[in-house]
Each structure stands twice: as structure tokens, then as C-alpha cells.
């Protein structure tokens, strides 16, 4: 976190040295991103209400439903496999411990770099943790990058998700917990549907491969935020 803050200071000073003025010295909103301005500045916005641009508890509930429908059955299946002795102790530790370890690495190190660093929610200055509907409270371990995700980052994100969902499957098969495996898989599919129908059409991380915001709204948002517009144009995105 300290590294992240130091890097942010360096970025700010470097950009200022280069004479670009789309970044400011407001420590709370160094990239001048509209979602971190006072909400009164949204009154005249043509896309007000079209995006999830301020934290909204409803999105957190939809997001958390994946844990309830997709992951609790899988965790239950691993425990049942252990208590029924289909999974021995080393396999139990590898299944649950390995999955938890992967999730910690994914959420704290990998996902911030490939996905969250490109999200306007990550541009909040001075904050040591993320304040967004999905990862609220997760430590900030990298700096905001106003450019869109690269192709490599998109591929990494898909691979990361596949490991995330797929990790418990072999252990549930070894544990012969086929009903819970099926419930878990249906739960994950249900969760992806919720994401695609309720969250991704409003999400401000526009370059995420799951994002479904219409282009006209994306363009309006980016035009509100000059540092993002410049970075997107430099990466080859055309707004017209």
C-alpha cells in the first residue's frame, strides 16, 4: 500500500513535469475523475442515472449472490467429502486451503493489476482500500491506470476467473459430491447471468471483457474525464 501511494505521487509529479494539466494536485481526487467529485457536479450530467458511478448497496447484494449460490455449495461439498472420508486430510487442505490462498492472491495482487487498476473506482486518492460495490475494503496494492485494459490483461482476467470457478471441481468429483457440484455450477451460471444483466450494463470499468455499457454512454463518461480520454486515445481507441 505504501508502495502504491509512493508510485501515485511519482506519477503525479512526472505528469506535472510534462506540463499536462488533466491531472491535479487534489490529493483526494488526483486524476480529477468525476465519480470522486462532489455529487452536486452530477446535476447537469447527460448520463446521470445511466451508470453505477457512485457506490450503491443494491449492486453489492447482486454481486454477493454469487457467493451464496455458487460458492457455499462447493465449500459444503468439500467439507462433506472430508467428513465422509472421500477426501483425506492432505486433499482437504489442498482443496480448501489452496482455493482460499488462490482467492487471496487473486483479489489482492492479480486482479488489481489486470482489472481494477483501470477502473475509475481505483482512482480515489489517499484511500488505502478500494471503495466500490464489489471489492469494498480490499487493500489497494497498485495505482490507477487511466488506459483501457490491454489484450494480455483481458486474457489474464478470463484465465483468472476460470481458475477461480474451476478450482474446486476436481475435489468435488473425488469427494463424490455430484449433487453439490451441480448446484454450485448452476449457481455460478446464475451469478454470471446476474452480473451480465444487472451489473455489467452499468459498470464504469468499461474495458473489462464482461462490460456491457452502450458505446454512447461510455463515450460520454470518458469525455467527462480528460485523463481517461487521453489515455484511451493513446491506446488506439476512437471516440467518433
Residue among 35, 29, 17, 28 at smallest CA distance from 133? 35
What are residue 139's DSSP bridge partners?
A: 129
**Which residues contact residue 112 at a Cβ distance below 8 angstroms, ignoring those fewer than 6 apart?**
122, 138, 140, 141, 142
Number of C-beta neighbours around residue 224 at 10 A:
21
Minimum distance from CB of 181 to ligand SF4 (Å)? 27
- Using the minimum distance from each CB to ligand SF4, give the nearer residue, 34 or 76: 34
**Using CB under 6 A, which of the segments 4-12, 21-29, 45-53, 94-102 binds ligand SF4?**
45-53
Q: Binding to ligand SF4 by residue 218, rule CB under 6 A?
A: no
Nine-digit cell at 4?
502504491
Quick check: 31 binds ligand SF4 (CB under 6 A)?
A: no
129 bridge partner residues = 139
Interacting positions 102-141 with ligand SF4 (CB under 6 A): 115-116, 119, 121-122, 130, 132, 134-135
**Of 8, 29, 32, 35, which one interacts with ligand SF4 (CB under 6 A)?**
35
**Which residue, 224 or 229, is less far from ligand SF4 as judged by CB?**
224
Report the residue number, 115 or 183, with the smaller CB distance to ligand SF4.
Answer: 115
Question: What does the block give as the cell for 3?
Answer: 508502495
Quote the cell numbers at residue 126: 489517499
Residues comprising the chain, all counted: 240
| Residue whose CB is less far from ligand SF4, 95 or 225 | 225
Considering only 62, 71, 165, 221, the residue that binds ligand SF4 (CB under 6 A) is 221
Which residue intervals of the chain are DSSP H helices?
2-17, 57-66, 72-83, 89-92, 98-105, 111-114, 151-166, 169-174, 178-194, 215-224, 226-234
Our finding on whether 53 is near ligand SF4 (CB under 6 A) is: yes
Angstrom distance (rounded) from CA 25 to CA 185 = 47
- Give the count of beta carbons closer than 10 Å to the beta carbon of residue 26: 13
Residue closer to ligand SF4 (CB basis): 132 or 172: 132
122 touches 204 (CB < 8 A) = no
Q: Which of 205, 219, 222, 227 binds ligand SF4 (CB under 6 A)?
A: 205
For ligand SF4, give the closer residue by CB, 73 or 112: 112
Stretch that binds ligand SF4, among 8-16, 39-47, 89-97, 175-183 (CB under 6 A): 39-47
- Binding residues for ligand SF4 (CB under 6 A): 34-35, 42, 45, 47-48, 51, 53, 115-116, 119, 121-122, 130, 132, 134-135, 205, 221, 224
Amino acid at each position: 500500500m505504501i508502495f502504491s501511494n509512493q508510485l501515485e505521487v511519482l506519477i503525479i509529479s512526472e505528469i506535472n513535469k510534462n506540463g499536462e494539466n488533466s491531472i491535479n494536485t487534489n490529493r483526494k481526487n488526483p486524476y480529477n475523475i468525476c465519480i470522486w467529485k462532489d455529487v452536486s457536479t452530477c446535476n447537469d450530467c447527460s448520463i446521470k442515472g445511466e451508470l453505477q458511478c457512485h457506490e450503491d448497496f443494491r449492486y453489492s447484494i447482486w454481486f454477493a449472490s454469487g457467493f451464496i449460490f455458487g460458492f457455499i455449495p462447493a465449500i459444503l461439498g468439500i467439507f462433506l467429502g472430508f467428513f465422509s472420508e472421500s477426501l483425506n486430510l492432505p486433499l482437504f487442505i489442498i482443496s480448501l486451503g489452496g482455493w482460499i490462498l488462490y482467492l487471496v492472491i487473486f483479489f489482492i495482487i492479480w486482479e488489481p493489476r489486470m482489472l481494477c487498476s483501470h477502473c475509475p473506482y481505483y482512482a480515489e486518492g489517499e484511500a488505502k482500500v478500494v471503495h466500490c460495490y464489489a471489492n469494498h475494503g480490499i487493500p489497494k496494492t497498485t495505482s490507477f491506470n487511466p488506459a483501457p485494459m490491454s489484450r494480455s490483461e483481458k486474457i489474464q482476467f478470463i484465465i483468472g476467473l476460470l481458475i477461480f470457478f474451476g478450482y474446486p471441481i476436481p475435489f468435488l468429483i473425488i469427494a463424490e459430491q455430484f449433487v453439490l457440484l451441480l448446484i454450485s455450477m448452476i449457481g455460478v451460471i446464475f451469478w454470471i447471468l446476474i452480473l451480465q444483466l444487472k451489473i455489467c450494463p452499468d459498470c464504469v470499468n468499461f474495458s473489462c471483457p464482461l462490460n456491457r455499457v452502450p458505446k454512447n454512454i461510455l463515450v460520454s463518461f470518458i469525455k467527462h474525464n480528460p485523463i481517461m480520454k487521453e489515455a484511451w486515445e493513446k491506446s488506439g481507441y476512437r471516440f467518433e
